[in-house]
């Protein structure tokens, strides 16, 4: 983890990603997977993005990289708006992604050398085959793979080794920014720690900037400088990692943090688990006003009438809640 090093490298402004869902003959309705998300990430920083499954975390990451065309909003990289084919092409040489599943994200018909070298081929980032091979071996060393692994296929490796291959592939274009989409969720706990340490070391060596998407709150706390909490397509709270864990202000964030395991049995017994009632609403039929109001113990009529403003309530601490000053 690094201290914030100046102006934002990535800026996301009012990002929207809607998918049209067929609801009948010639009828569609928009599923609002991401609805008005805004945040920035400074150079050398890790922003953790957490929330329940289906809240839109992965869609945010993929939309930032233009794997999905944004329905609305703006994405800025290093002060430049990413909004046309040329800027997207240039952006993709500076921004890459590590995918969640190391089993399905690697082509089983390609050798490790070809998997890692594919981005080099796409962007024509070498002048000779020897230079290409040297770059591939260098990337493998960065993630702890041996040169003899280069001629093998993905199915010959364990989950942790496959994820290392995925990380090496993401590093091939020498990026500044990497979207890490739950990169350790499919791995054993002991292997998770090794992969997290790789991310930490690479960030320190190369000055990388991460958007780290995860649902494991302990992992996010370890690696993140700041944390954004998502619920049903909206960011409901954003603050420094320690501030989110020690002083969560949004009722949803409070519930999430109360579920984090504590190694001290006495402290764990003293902590009160905040259990939410009701089911998560469908994004196709999201509640009016505040989307969390149907599960919130503090909801009032105002919560149903107006979408809460995402505002700064203290230095660097943003919350979207009508009653934030009354319930804290």
Sketch the domain layout of the chain as residue ranges. Answer: 8-94+175-320, 108-174
Least confident of 186-190, 232-236, 285-289: 186-190
Contact predicate 283/230, CB 8 Å: no
Average pLDDT for the chain:
90
Q: At the topology level of CATH, where does 8-94+175-320 sit?
A: Rossmann fold (3.40.50)
* Stretch 97-103: mean pLDDT: 89
pLDDT in tens, 105-125: 899 999 999 999 999 999 888
Q: Is the pLDDT of residue 8 over 80?
A: yes
Q: What is the pLDDT of residue 5?
A: 46
Least confident of 135-139, 158-162, 267-271: 267-271
* Stretch 40-53: mean pLDDT: 94
The percent of residues in the chain predicted with pLDDT above 70, rounded, is 96
Contact predicate 228/39, CB 8 Å: yes
Q: What is the pLDDT of residue 54?
A: 87
Task: Give me the phi and psi of 215, to 5 degrees please.
Answer: -115, -5
Q: Is the pLDDT of residue 68 over 80?
A: yes
- For the chain, how many residues are written? 328
Please give the order of strands across the beta sheet that includes 209-213: 95-98, 177-181, 209-213, 46-50, 226-231, 234-240, 317-320, 310-314
Distance CA 52, CA 56 (A): 9
Q: What is the pLDDT of residue 101?
A: 85
Contact predicate 14/37, CB 8 Å: yes
Q: What is the pLDDT of residue 267?
A: 66
pLDDT in tens, 255-277: 988 877 777 677 666 677 777 87
**Token pair recorded at residue 101:** 């599943």
Contact predicate 117/151, CB 8 Å: no
Q: What is the pLDDT of residue 4?
A: 43
Burial class (CB in 10 A: 0-12, 13-18, 19+), 39: buried
Q: What is the pLDDT of residue 1?
A: 46
DSSP 8-class letter at 323: T
2 confidence band (pLDDT: 50, 70, 90): very low
Please indicate whether residue 265 or residue 253 has the higher confidence score (pLDDT): 253
* Stretch 244-261: mean pLDDT: 88
Q: Which of 22-26, 50-54, 69-73 reaches the highest mean pLDDT? A: 69-73
Q: What is the pLDDT of residue 239?
A: 96
Distance CA 139, CA 118 (A): 13
Q: What is the pLDDT of residue 268?
A: 63
Q: What is the pLDDT of residue 180?
A: 96
Q: Is the pLDDT of residue 197 over 90?
A: yes
């Amino acid at each position: 983890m690094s201290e914030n090093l100046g102006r934002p490298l990535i800026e996301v402004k009012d990002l929207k990603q809607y998918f049209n869902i067929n609801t009948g003959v010639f009828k569609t309705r928009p599923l609002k997977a991401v609805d008005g998300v805004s945040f920035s990430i400074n150079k050398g920083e890790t922003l953790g993005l957490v929330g329940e499954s289906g809240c839109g975390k992965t869609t945010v990451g993929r939309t930032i990289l233009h794997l999905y065309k944004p329905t609305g909003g703006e994405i800025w990289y290093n002060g430049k708006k990413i909004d046309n084919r040329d800027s997207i092409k240039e952006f993709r040489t500076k921004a890459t992604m590590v995918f969640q599943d190391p089993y399905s994200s690697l082509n089983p018909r390609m050798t490790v050398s070809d998997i890692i070298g594919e981005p080099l081929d796409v962007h024509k980032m070498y002048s000779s085959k020897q230079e290409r091979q040297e770059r591939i071996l260098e990337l493998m060393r960065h993630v702890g793979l041996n040169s003899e692994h280069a001629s093998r296929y993905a199915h010959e490796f364990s989950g942790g080794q496959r994820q290392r291959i995925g990380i090496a592939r993401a590093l091939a274009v020498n990026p500044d920014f990497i979207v890490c989409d739950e990169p350790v969720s499919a791995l054993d706990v002991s292997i998770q720690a090794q992969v997290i340490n790789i991310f930490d070391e690479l960030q320190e060596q190369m000055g990388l900037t991460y958007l780290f998407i995860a649902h494991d709150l302990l992992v996010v706390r370890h690696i993140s400088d700041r944390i954004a909490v998502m619920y049903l397509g909206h960011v409901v709270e954003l603050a420094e990692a320690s501030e989110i864990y020690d002083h969560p202000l949004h009722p949803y964030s409070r519930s999430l943090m109360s579920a984090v395991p504590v190694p001290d049995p006495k402290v764990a017994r003293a902590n009160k688990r905040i259990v939410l009632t009701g089911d998560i609403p469908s994004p196709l039929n999201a509640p009016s006003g505040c989307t969390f109001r149907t599960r919130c113990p503090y909801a009032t009529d105002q919560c149903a009438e107006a979408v809460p403003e995402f505002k700064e309530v203290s230095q660097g601490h943003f919350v979207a809640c009508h009653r934030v000053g009354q319930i804290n």
